[in-house]
Structure 1
Amino acid sequence: MTGDKADVRGRPRCDFTEGILRASPEPTQADRSGRQSMRFRCPAAAVAAGGVDRYGYRGSDTYNLPMRDASGPHLSLWKQALGVVPESVWERKDLQTLVLADNGLTDLSDRIGDLRHLRMLDLGHNRLRRVPDSIGDLEGLTDFLYLHDNELTALPASLMRLERLRYLNISENAFEVLPEAVTGMIGLIELRATDNRLTRLPSSIARLTRLRELHVRNNQLGTLPDAIGSLPELRQIDLRGNPVTSLPESLLNSPRLEKLDLRWVTTLTPPDWLAELEARGCVVYF
């Protein structure tokens, strides 16, 4: 089960889902060696700090990451008030993880496509209105892509090439329609698109056959597509805070569905078949 803790703005800061610690980094005091460090509450820290979790991602128990900007494959420039990413960053062709969160970025250079070894990229908590097509060139991006808390309304079709990406967060933007590029990311295990303006999900979501978690709370969804029932690995659906008026009975075809969260939904008359879904072991919160 997922547990949420709210940040100072009332938004979830820390999610515990299937053993992975997620959300945004926070600063700490200097570590014992006197180096400035940051405590991360997100997979970015796990990738950068060492260790391995149950999905094979790099991780640690402390989530304390010394700020690194000189050498090595992991670079965090979190909350450095950059405004613009230094050109020197694009010369770091060896980078595997790059954190540019919370820097007031309004644009991103096409040169990001040169960082072909990236496995994790965090662009969250900025003011981006677009992301460059060249991100689609990062076909080694396998672990995490954070685009949350920006001003995005669309994603370039080139992102469809990120077929090995397992985690995508596009929450807290201004999407009215789930970008078609997302449904081309066929390796996705977890998709977070909360706090947008989504009015529907496309039937092409059926392409995400590895998807286990779908988080779409606080949107404008009135229902889900029938195709949702064809996702063989789907475990969790979070529909909290949506104006849902109906649900597809095809959800009964979801062999591994464990949790359907309908809290804060006041517009739905529960269909009779929900009882059958619960009898099969799916927990329905309503």
Structure 2
Amino acid sequence: MHTLEQLRAGALAGARHLKLACGLRDFPREIFELADTLEILDLAGNELTTLPDDLSRLTRLRVLFCSGNPFEVLPEVLGRCPALQMIGFKSCRLHTVPDAALPPTLRWLILTDNRIETLPAGIGRCTGLRKLALAGNRLTALPPEMAACTSLELLRIAANRIAAFPDWLLDLPRLAWLAYAGNPFCATLDAAWQAEAHTRPVPWVALATDGVLGEGASGVIHRAAWSAPEGARAVAVKLFKGEVTSDGLPASERAACVGAGSHPQLIPVLGEVTGHPADTAGLVMALIDPAFRSLAGPPSLDTCTRDVYPADARFTPATALAIARGIAAAAAHLHQRGIVHGDLYAHNILHDGEGRVFLGDFGAASFVSPADPARARRLEQMEVRAFGCLLEELAERTAPGVLCDGLAALAARCLGAVPALRPGFDEIVRHLDGLAVAA
């Protein structure tokens, strides 16, 4: 975090990254003194409603965050910024996105939690767009021109007012991570899942929390002692924040966690919190051995859609195969039950270093009706591409040999540009079992 005083005193000369959150109502003109070096500008959490018409003087600016400011219109000057690739205007008051506001260099656009009813047709010109977050708006449809966004890999359209599923999305050759729950076209299905997601009630008074294990967009996970009638046990308790996240709605996550049922590679749900003093929803889950850790970190500003692994991350062929097989089996189980995970990423996988894994984080989960097998198949083939990314990452970090070559070859099939030609998860599991036998 920087200060306005530092900026005005010239103490930030040569800065590549500037972050100011000090109640700004006007754009500080002193920022232009950094035009020769500034690449990342974070003005989130201020009181800005406009940006200067000459913002394009920041010719090296790649990333701009303005989330939490009361903008009502996405500034058109953004479209004239020659190097701008990432734009974040989450939780503003946006109702209008002008055509001119979208720069041709755009890769990553975050407009979550606003009041946007329509997107401009010009978004179809953003052919390098890879990541688009639109959850929690008032969209009734997506412009068909978006079909030209063939680089799009991650899309969040949950919690909008979209009347019909845009089936052309599933023809996009690189789309791998999609969240769409909470729209009118799936309202009946969502409601059924939420109503049928029954699990054991756990009174809040029977839980004694003892520290935070982690926090995500949708909630906080606490370590807790559960005084259950059959005996005390250590558990994890996830308390939901109850608001729209970048992925979607906590209610959908809860329904998916419970509805997923039992599987060796899914963290068991033991019950649901009742009687919380703030009426907060929560789930009681099995406490995972601390030997398990995240397989990778989430994508960075530079990698955009691909996870960041530790520099020294390496896997034996047997470990890589076990990880891949476990996650493929979990994904097959979910799709058999009508659940699209939506965020099948290494950073949502816990592993113990020896091949044992758990797939977590259902914040982007959506549901598909068994009465619509054609769409269910296409959604599965979309998610197979996400699995292909994981396979590719594992193969890159695995010792050369027959197994590594087999993983790479399977990754190529899963990443195929024609979604309809990709294998399903059941076939992938059988293929991985065959690799294990051959090894």
- TM bucket (normalised to shorter chain) is 0.5 to 0.7
Of residues 378, 395, 400 in structure 2, which corresponds to 1:277? 378
Q: CA deviation at 1:232?
A: 1.3
SS in 2 for 1:145: strand
Q: CA deviation at 1:190?
A: 1.2
Question: 1:113·1:136 contact (CA, 8 Å) conserved in 2?
Answer: no
SS in 2 for 1:112: helix
Hey, what's the Cα distance between the residues in 1 that align with 2:24 and 2:6? Answer: 8
Hey, what's the Cα distance between the residues in 2 that align with 1:178 and 1:138? Answer: 22
Hey, what's the Cα distance between the residues in 2 that align with 1:233 and 1:94? Answer: 33
- Alignment correspondent of 2:8: 87
- Alignment correspondent of 1:160: 79
- Alignment correspondent of 1:263: 181
SS in 2 for 1:260: strand
SS in 1 for 2:25: coil
Hey, what's the Cα distance between the residues in 2 that align with 1:85 and 1:226? Answer: 47
Rate the CA distance shift 1:276–1:206 in 2: closer, same or farther, 3 A: farther
Matched pairs, number = 200
Hey, what's the Cα distance between the residues in 1 that align with 2:147 and 2:127? Answer: 11
- Alignment correspondent of 2:146: 228
Hey, what's the Cα distance between the residues in 2 that align with 1:155 and 1:85? Answer: 28
- Alignment correspondent of 1:212: 130
Question: 1:224·1:247 contact (CA, 8 Å) conserved in 2?
Answer: no
Look up the equivalent residue of 2:163 and give its one-letter code.
T
Rate the CA distance shift 1:264–1:155 in 2: closer, same or farther, 3 A: closer
- Alignment correspondent of 1:70: none
Question: 1:137·1:161 contact (CA, 8 Å) conserved in 2?
Answer: no
Q: CA deviation at 1:131?
A: 1.5
SS in 2 for 1:168: strand
- Alignment correspondent of 1:177: 96
Hey, what's the Cα distance between the residues in 1 that align with 2:91 and 2:65? Answer: 11
SS in 1 for 2:77: helix
Rate the CA distance shift 1:176–1:217 in 2: closer, same or farther, 3 A: same
Deviation string for 1:235-261 (max 9, x for gaps)?
111011111112333223311111221
Hey, what's the Cα distance between the residues in 2 that align with 1:110 and 1:159? Answer: 17
Hey, what's the Cα distance between the residues in 2 that align with 1:278 and 1:155? Answer: 32
Hey, what's the Cα distance between the residues in 2 that align with 1:113 and 1:190? Answer: 24
Q: CA deviation at 1:163?
A: 3.4
Unaligned runs of 5+ in 2: 188-367, 385-439
Unaligned runs of 5+ in 1: 1-75
Question: 1:194·1:217 contact (CA, 8 Å) conserved in 2?
Answer: yes
Question: 1:176·1:196 contact (CA, 8 Å) conserved in 2?
Answer: yes
SS in 2 for 1:281: helix
Of residues 137, 140, 163 in structure 1, which corresponds to 2:57? 137
Alignment of 1:1-286 (within 5 A): 76-77=1-2, 87-89=8-10, 92-101=12-21, 103-116=22-35, 117-142=37-62, 144-183=63-102, 185-268=103-186, 274-282=375-383
The worse-fitting range, judged by mean Cα deviation, of 229-238 and 267-276 is 267-276
Rate the CA distance shift 1:196–1:179 in 2: closer, same or farther, 3 A: same
Q: How well do the aligned residues superpose, as a CA RMSD in angstroms? A: 2.5
Hey, what's the Cα distance between the residues in 2 that align with 1:266 and 1:85? Answer: 49
Hey, what's the Cα distance between the residues in 2 that align with 1:148 and 1:179? Answer: 18
Look up the equivalent residue of 1:107 and give its one-letter code.
D
TM-score by length of 2: 0.42
Structure 1 runs (4+) deviating above 6 angstroms are none
Rate the CA distance shift 1:114–1:179 in 2: closer, same or farther, 3 A: farther
Hey, what's the Cα distance between the residues in 1 that align with 2:95 and 2:72? Answer: 7
